[in-house]
Amino acid sequence: MPDLVPAIEAKPAAALPGSPRAFLRVAAATTAAAALIVAGPWVLDTYAVNLLVRAFFVAIAALTVDVLWGVSGTLTFGQSAFFGIGGYALAIVFSQFGFGPGEALLALTAAVGVAGVVAGLVGWLSFYPGSTPLYASVISLVLPIVVVQILYSGGTFTGSSSGLVGFESFDLSLENWFRLSGLAMIATLLVMWIVLRSDAGRVLGAMRDNDERCSYLGIDTARVRIGLLVVAALIAALAGFGYVGFGAVAAPENAGFVFGTQLVVMVALGGRGSLIGAVIGAIVIELASAYLSSSLPFVWELIVGVAFVVVIVVLPGGLLGGLRDLAGVVRRRVAATPAPVAAPVMLRTVQRPAAAPDCNDVVVEVSDLSKHFGSLSVLSKISFKARQGELVSLVGPNGAGKTTLIRCLADGRERSDGSVRIAGHSIERLSADRIVGLGLGRKFQAASVFETLSVADCLRVARVRNERPSFIEASPVLALPAASRAVVESSGLIERLGEEARFLSHGLKQALELAMVLALEPQVLLLDEPTAGLTRAERQGFADILTALVARDRLCVLIIEHDLDFVRLISSRIIVLHQGRIALDGSVAEVVDAPLVREIYTGRPVSDAGGASA
């Protein structure tokens, strides 16, 4: 029977995602916007309507850029290529085969099909373990150039540099094109908003904030990014399809690098990451360009350029970000009460069968592990076993290889030689996210969380691996395993569930990261200097948690620590690393007073087997 505990009272002033009030507000806004769209053509003149149809399609393309860049953190110049593919698919089919329902269907299929395949290819090329954001941006830069060159070399098939004109297209009235494009834009905005606010959508923001942490929570970020790119490409292609279908002209500029950069400019000026900002940016710039470029020919582009530079350097949130900051300042002046913070979030404990109290199966098995960089040997012939219910401390001077060892356990591609088995499975050359699936959780030395996500959302993302999140709902219930929940409650995080992680103190961030890692329900927990920077009280609390995890939940905990008092307090076993080898491996009593350890720590030169330098 799930145990529902209201974590905090619902704060009425907040209308936040997931709460009914938020949906009402959005529904109202959407209906109003839709009404405006429907009524628009009766109020606006033909020229404006014409411009706006194009602007709406461009806004849809800008939305895809915002999802990729503002929300997920991949700067892309290449969405124009998919826009152009969609448009040219229509133009080519209609030029070659004429216009008709069958041809329209063919064109649509071609647009979507080609865009999807190209996006898959580009995604595979750009996103792979070890790729950098810069490289992904480089590829996104090259893509529209390649597409445009292909168009140039296509002869009459693609119209070369003049593009394709004179083909028959959809026979809608101007007013209905307006409504179609406007409603399509609103629909896209709405769907994106819903998905990004859902539990699954949180993952995108998490990837933008801290890609590595996502991998270590078991999320295959490369695959997510490729999937996202394909979806974005399809949407952009459909927008291009509409654009060219409306104008009955397909030009290479629609697919080019300059247009791709303009989309980025629109998103930046409007406010990256806000979705609405992309729409506003696109519409404003499209309209202003049309109206102003005749009266202020070169000055308009100059203004845009200057505004763009100013925004990037000084106002990264764009227009919307600036307005939001302003609203925040005004609100703080006007209202004495602090801004509303939290959405009501209810904690629930995930029920799991309790671990057998004396369970002590071997869950970590390391044989002959070595790591070297060229001729420099960092770890050699490391072998040990660790069991459930053991708390093993890894100690040793700086440069002994402790963090390297942790890395080699958590990521199959790190080690040079030797084997590692986690919970009975060899890690081979598996990537970190796959090893998480074997039952490993790694906590980093510097608290590695998602800065712009709320505490509750950070924990939600940590549960993604174990519970498939909804793409529609933002659930008000947060289900955590008992150990994770215990950390949340004992550390005081339970009162800050709605706060963004970046406002937490160092100690609380460490607790949050621990709770996130425990949310994975790991069998093996790797901790890297977890007490650095904690107060005495925090350290004691931490020691209590660890001891309980080991004794009650039968976890196997490997902890790197410098604070030897702490080590003595909590460990059942100590492994001493020195110059890349295990110097000692034994119980606390055996190791603590060993003369070798004293020598290692006081730095007196040791006549060691590794061969001292000089």
Partner 1 sequence: MTAMLELTELTSGYGSSPVVHGVSLQIAPGEIFALVGKNGMGKSSLLKTILSFLPAWGGTVRINGVDATDLPPHRKRALGLAYAPQEQALFQDLSVRDNLRLGLTGDRSFEARLADVSGWFPVLTARLSQRAGTLSGGEQKMLIVARGLIAEPRLLLLDEVTEGLQPSVVDRLSEVLATTRRERGTAMLVVEQHLPFVLGLADRFAVFKRGEVVDTGTVEPDSAARIDEHMRL
Partner 2 sequence: MITLVLDIITTAAILFIVAAGLLIVFGVMKIVNFAHASFITVGAYAALVTSRFGLPPVLAPLVAFLAGGLLGAATERIVVRRLYRRPLDAILATWGLGIVIGQLVTLAFGREVQFVPTPISGTLALLGVDYSLYRLLLVPAALIIAGLFAGLMNGTRLGLSTRAVIMNENLAQGLGIDSTRVRLITFGIGCGLAAAAGALITPLASVDPNMGLAWLIGAFMLVMVSGGSLLTLGLSCFVLGGLQVVASTFISPILGGLTIAVLAAVALRLRPQGFARA
Residues forming contacts to partner 2 in the complex (CB under 8 A) are 75, 125, 130-135, 137-139, 141-142, 145-146, 149, 152-153, 257, 261, 264-265, 268, 298-299, 301-302, 304-306, 308-309, 312-313, 316
| Residue 134 binds: one of partner 2, partner 1, none (C-beta under 5 to 8 A by kind) | partner 2
Cβ pair 83, 90 in contact under 8 A? no
| Cβ nearer to partner 1, comparing 40 with 533 | 533
- Residue 305, classified by CB atoms within 10 Å of its CB into exposed (0-12), middle (13-18) or buried (19+), is exposed
| Cβ nearer to partner 2, comparing 132 with 398 | 132
| Cβ nearer to partner 2, comparing 155 with 605 | 155
Minimum CB separation from partner 2 for residue 612, in Å? 25
Cβ pair 118, 81 in contact under 8 A? yes
| Residue 306 binds: one of partner 2, partner 1, none (C-beta under 5 to 8 A by kind) | partner 2
Which tokens belong to 74? 């991949």
Minimum CB separation from partner 1 for residue 609, in Å? 15
| Residue 353 binds: one of partner 1, partner 2, none (C-beta under 5 to 8 A by kind) | none
Cβ pair 213, 206 in contact under 8 A? yes
- Residue 134, classified by CB atoms within 10 Å of its CB into exposed (0-12), middle (13-18) or buried (19+), is exposed
Minimum CB separation from partner 1 for residue 612, in Å? 6
Minimum CB separation from partner 1 for residue 592, in Å? 5
Minimum CB separation from partner 2 for residue 303, in Å? 9
| Cβ nearer to partner 2, comparing 216 with 308 | 308
- State the Cα–Cα distance between residues 16 and 23, nearest whole angstrom: 9
Cβ pair 190, 30 in contact under 8 A? yes
Minimum CB separation from partner 1 for residue 564, in Å? 5
Q: Which residues are paired to 526 by β-bridges?
A: 442, 558
In this structure, the dihedral spanned by the alpha carbons of residues 430, 431, 435 and 436, taken in order and rounded to 10 degrees, is -160
| Residue 305 binds: one of partner 2, partner 1, none (C-beta under 5 to 8 A by kind) | partner 2
| Residue 153 binds: one of partner 2, partner 1, none (C-beta under 5 to 8 A by kind) | partner 2
Minimum CB separation from partner 2 for residue 65, in Å? 12
Angle 34-40-46 from CA coordinates, rounded to 5°: 145
Angle 433-550-477 from CA coordinates, rounded to 5°: 60
| Cβ nearer to partner 2, comparing 139 with 483 | 139
| Residue 563 binds: one of partner 2, partner 1, none (C-beta under 5 to 8 A by kind) | partner 1
Which tokens belong to 495? 């009162």
Residue 219: which of 26, 481, 430, 436 has the closest Cα? 436
Cβ pair 574, 395 in contact under 8 A? yes
Q: Which residues are paired to 498 by β-bridges?
A: none
Element (H, E) at 37: helix 20-43
- State the Cα–Cα distance between residues 76 and 96, nearest whole angstrom: 32
Minimum CB separation from partner 2 for residue 51, in Å? 22
| Cβ nearer to partner 1, comparing 395 with 549 | 395
| Cβ nearer to partner 1, comparing 107 with 534 | 534
| Residue 447 binds: one of partner 1, partner 2, none (C-beta under 5 to 8 A by kind) | partner 1
Amino acid identity at 134: L
Which tokens belong to 53? 């149809």
- State the Cα–Cα distance between residues 264 and 336, nearest whole angstrom: 39
| Cβ nearer to partner 1, comparing 225 with 509 | 509
| Residue 397 binds: one of partner 1, partner 2, none (C-beta under 5 to 8 A by kind) | partner 1
| Cβ nearer to partner 1, comparing 119 with 447 | 447
| Residue 43 binds: one of partner 2, partner 1, none (C-beta under 5 to 8 A by kind) | none
Q: Which stretches of the chain bind partner 1, using CB under 8 A?
A: 397-398, 446-447, 504-506, 509, 529, 532-533, 562-564, 568, 592-593, 597-598, 601-605, 612-614
Residue 517: which of 545, 536, 552, 494 has the closest Cα? 545
